[in-house]
Amino acid sequence: MSTHSVAEAKTHLSGLIDRALQGEEVVITRHGRPVVALRPVGDAPARMSNAESLAWLRANRVKGGGADPEDAASLVGRLRDDEQRR
């Protein structure tokens, strides 16, 4: 295990990351106390293909309340008109 101050870590961050990726435990200290440990995060999750993404979006979309949903501009205009009538 190696320990490094925040100032030292800022100067040598790339090298410290490389050491952590090679399996070394790298600890960063602030005012002499350990505050952060660098370690590999593991494999990144696989991304969905475009077809998978579209299928997920279709399956998880929020269904509208009416047969003909109101667009944003119409909604804002209607709300503004309602407010002016009050």
Each domain of the chain, given as residue ranges in start order, spans: 2-38
Please check whether residue 26 is in contact with residue 19, taking contact to mean a CB–CB distance below 8 angstroms.
Answer: yes
Q: Which amino acid is at 69?
A: P
Residue 9: Cβ within 10 Å count:
20
What pLDDT, on the 0 to 100 scale, is given for residue 79?
A: 86
Amino acid 63: pLDDT: 66
CATH architecture of 2-38: 3-Layer(aba) Sandwich (3.40)
State the pTM of this model: 0.48
Q: What is the pLDDT along the chain (86 residues), one digit of tens a residue?
A: 899 999 999 999 999 999 999 989 999 999 999 999 998 887 656 666 788 888 877 887 766 655 566 778 888 888 888 888 87
Alpha-carbon span 47 to 80, nearest angstrom: 43
